[in-house]
Each structure stands twice: as structure tokens, then as C-alpha cells.
Structure 1
């Protein structure tokens, strides 16, 4: 069982030609509403790939009976939810420009309950964006920890970030988040990678790099027609973690994450084009060859 901690949200995704400066405006060329939230996206991707997953999240009283609840039921996502009355389920307003740069405005809503909630002790947990203090407490109590700060990296103090990384086994981040973590902690990129067993840094369309045992291993992207980059990182993590619990090597896990992400960016929405394990394998073989054989389970 993979446990995922963090936000469940409703995404309002808009396209603009350019992101405006302060006190300026821009035209929205397209706007759509999707199921989202970093943790929920990862849990949905894991469930679609056929792995058991439990989502630990906060929702408002608008979630029960919603289409989103029915979608999670269909996927078979186990849920440990803090249901907060008289609040909204968190809502994200995301704007992507023609160059692929993004800006996000996030209404925490029910997620404010994280700060006052008891942190669970979990055997294998991935922590996505959530309350920094709550994530620190989860990391301290859990056995094996995977962590990605996401765009909430700016909300972590130096003490919180140092605490959570000291308890992290696998660290995920994109190039912007890596830079911010290094700035907050006052360390180099190389020093940051040595704090954890594995670090996976993604670079949008320029691929990703796995850092492990003092070495870096580059993983190229899978070429596809890009529709919307939103959710690419979440689906990468879903693919990586699903492969990791099956026993694949970290490098193969990164490739599987890359392939999983390639499906999601072909369509707008973080959960609208999630691949099954069989679909992922088909595209994996076309780009990376036959994946390694796994030892038979006793």
C-alpha cells in the first residue's frame, strides 16, 4: 500500500498568451475545470496503474456526493479524509502561458485543518503539497518517506525544510523548487542530493536526472504532442512509486515515471488521460526497450 498525503482540489486551468506583471491584465484564451490537487493526482495515477493507494487529505462539505467522490470510488482510491464542515474543498486557479510557464493561486479551504490534525505513522508515504508542519510530523513518524515540496516550497522555513529532508528517503523536485530549497537551506545542489538516498529532479521538457550514490543519471523525455504541462510532475511520481513498490530499479522507475507523465501532458487536466500499466508498458517499450525482468515473488 502506498500512502499519499496532501491536497485534494478542484482545478480551474486557464491558457493565456503571457503571464501579466503586477497591476497588469491578460486575456484568457481557454478555461476548463478538472479534478486535481497534487496528492489526489498522484493517488489517481497510482490507482490507474493498478497499485493499492490510500489518500490522506482534507475536503469540505461540498465533496460528499460530488462527481469527484464518485471518480475516486471508481478508481478504488482508499481515503482517510478530514472532512471540514462549512468549508470548500481546496480550489486551484492555474494559468499557463504559451511558453509553458505557470502561475497558480490556491484556496486552501478545508486544507487548513492539516495544521490541527494528528499526523499518521505510515509504512511508505509520499508527501505532496500540504501544511509544512503537518508534513514534518508525518515524516518524523513514518518508516519510508518520499517528498516533493511542489510550489509550496516557498512556505517552508529553513528549520522545517531541514527537518523534513533529514527524514526523507526519496526527494522529488523540479528545477525551480531545487533552486528555492538550496536558497532556503543555504546549500549547493550537490549537497542537497547527498542528504537523501535518492533525488529525482525534473526539468520540464528537458528530461529528469536521478541522483544516487554520488552519481547522476539522465532520463530523456518521451516525445509527445504537448497539450498542457499541468500534472506532469504528479504523474511522474505516480509512475515512479508504482514501479518502486513492484521492485524495479530506481532508473527504471524514473523511466516509468517519464512514460506515465507523457500520457498526462497530451490532454488538459491532471487526471483526464492517466495510463493503465499495460498502456504504460507499450509506450515504455517503444522508447526504452523491454523493461528489466523482476524476480519472482516467493
Structure 2
């Protein structure tokens, strides 16, 4: 396998609004503040991998505004390989609009835009792929082409057919999911967690502040979360996956991979935005050793 980690899924522009109140139909309230940030699960993971010094290629469908939005130059400057992008000329980039009021209630809207073209696209041939949140049929076809497959169903799991989900799981080497997603995967496929552990080499279950658990060949390891002053939990899972995968490609033990993932996630939550506080390997290592001792 090459050192390249190909990441499949969304590259999205995130619009985050602070509002006085969440409006009901036919109501209007002031927007107090707003930010436009770079996001999308696949872009978040690819950006974090590249910032850590890993080799990341982004496989995504981007719109005709990808260049002038600044997204393209942002990823290029970090060092993400964009040679496998699909440029959809008649669509705008994928966007997420999130409105949060003073009581932290939220209302969200997602514009698929260029990502809506995924079902029509032919996946490329790659060695090592991470399937982030994306369109189900593309991920299923991608899982059959790659030599090594990591899968993160994420919030798009509700859009998967049983057939596509089973295809992906049958080709998955590493599964990342939270506890709710594991339950949904089991329900959708009629496979118990024991069945999943028996058929997938490594399963990582994230538990928010409870850290994560890594299940591998009959054993499991608990990885504690790294405690920091959290500002925004969005993107923590993407940071964890990026740290884990870079460490995995470097040949570290699964336990060390999980700890590195936890450290990277701790940086992400310290700032608003999934790509605004990504650490380099050296910065990550310093915090790792503060929390877990000498990096092996």
C-alpha cells in the first residue's frame, strides 16, 4: 500500500449564524453574528491528515464556486492532493447553514449542491480509502475498488439502503462509529455487535466525553478523551479519525493510534470551525506526551 490516504465525501462551506431566536413559520429575528467556515467531513479529515504531515487526497464533488470561495487555495496551502476531485460546473459547492439561538437551540439546513452528483460518478482506483459521510451508492462502489477500506457512516447513515450498507461493511477493514450509529448499523443489517466484530478486523466506537473503545480480534482497548476547554464539539470525530489514520499508516499500535486521535480531536474542539485549529505532528506530540507520556 502507498502512504496516500484517500478520503471520500463532502467538502462543504459552513455558514454558522448566531440568532436572537429560532424563527417559526412567518417570523423574523435578527442575526447577531455569523461566520463562513470550511467544512464537510471528508475535507475536514483530509485537511487534518495533511496538517499532521500525512499524505491526503480528497475525493469529492465540488461546484463552480470552489475556486473563488477560497476553499481550493485553502486546501492546496495545507497540502491536500486535489487531483481526484470531480468538478461539477452546473452546481454550487455543498453548503451547511446552522442557526443557533441564545439558549443553544439549533436549526440546520443542508444544501447538497455538487454532492448530489455522486450517484452518477465513477469512483477512482485507490489503495487506502477512508469513506466519510457521503452518498451511499458511491461509497458502496468505492468500497469494492479499494485495497483497504475505512468506513465512517456518520449522520448520512439514515440515507443508506441495506444493500449498500452491507456491501460496504463486507469490504471494511476499519469501522469508525459512535454508539448510536453502531446500534443503527446492527438494526439495518440484522447483524449483532458480535457479528460485526467477527467480520470487521477493527472497530472504533467513540463515546464523546467517555473517550473511545477499540475492538480488535477479540480484545478491546479503552482510550480516554483528552480534557480541554471545549468551545465547539463539531468536527471532533473528524479530527480523531485523521489522527488515528496518520498514526496507523506510520505503523503505531492501535492503542497509540487511538490516543493520537484523541489528542487531535482535543485541538479541534478548542475553536469554532472544524479546520481552524488543526495541529502539526510536533504540536500534537507535545500534548500527547503531556497526557499519555512518551510517544512510542
Q: Same fold (TM over 0.5)?
A: yes
Q: Which runs of 5+ in 1 are unaligned?
A: 293-298
Among candidates 205, 222, 227, match of residue 218 of structure 1: 222
- Corresponding pairs, count: 292
Query: Relative to structure 1, is the Cα distance of residues 192 and 256 closer, same or farther in structure 2, using a 3 angstrom cutoff?
Result: same
Pick closer, same or farther for the CA change 1:266–1:137 going to 2, 3 Å: same
- State the match for 2:69 in structure 1: 66
Comparing 176-185 with 118-127, which one deviates more in the overlay?
176-185
Distance 1:170 1:66, change over 3 A: same
How far 1:196 sits from its partner (Å)?
0.8
Pick aligned residue for 2:48 from 36, 45, 49 = 45
SS in 1 for 2:233: coil
Q: 1:6 aligns with which of 9, 25, 43?
A: 9
Deviation, 1:106, is 1.7
**For structure 1, which segment, 62-71 or 164-173, has the greater mean C-alpha deviation from structure 2 after superposition?**
62-71
Stretch deviating more after TM superposition (35-44 or 72-81): 72-81
Distance change >3 Å, CA 288–CA 82, structure 1 → 2 = same
Q: What is the rounded CA distance, in whole Å, between the counterparts of 1:284 and 1:83 in structure 2?
A: 38
- Confirm whether residue 290 of structure 1 aligns to residue 294 of structure 2: yes
Post-superposition Cα deviations, 1:20-46, rounded to whole Å, max 9, x if no partner, equal 999999997754221001000000000
User: 1:101–1:154: structure 2 CA closer, same or farther, 3 Å change rule?
Assistant: farther
Q: Say whether 1:121 aligns with 2:122.
A: no
CA deviation string 1:179-235 (max 9, x = no partner): 211221123233223321101111111111101111221111001001001110111
Question: Is 1:147 matched up with 2:151?
Answer: yes
- In structure 2, C-alpha distance between the alignment counterparts of 1:184 and 1:85, rounded to whole Å: 36
> Is 2:197–2:217's contact at 8 Å kept on the other side of the alignment?
no
Shift of 1:8: 0.5
Matched with 1:33 is 36
How big is the alpha-carbon RMSD for the aligned residues of Structure 1 and Structure 2?
2.5
TM-score using structure 1 length: 0.90
- Is the Cα–Cα contact under 8 Å of residues 100 and 229 in structure 1 kept in the other structure? no
Q: Does 1:271 find its partner at 2:275?
A: yes
Query: How do residues 1-298 of structure 1 correspond to structure 2 at under 5 angstroms?
Result: 1-14=4-17, 31-79=34-82, 80-94=84-98, 104-292=108-296
| TM-score for both structures, normalised by structure 2 | 0.91
The Cα shift of 1:65 comes to 3.3
CA-CA distance at 1:18 after TM superposition: 10
Q: Distance in 2 between matches of 1:82 and 1:164?
A: 22
CA distance in 1, matches of 2:43, 2:290: 29
- What is the CA-CA distance between 1:72 and the residue it aligns to? 1.0
In 2, the alpha carbon distance for the partners of 1:283 and 1:231 equals: 19
* Shift of residue 16, structure 1, vs aligned partner: 7.6
Runs of 4+ in 1 over 3 A off after TM superposition: 14-31, 94-104
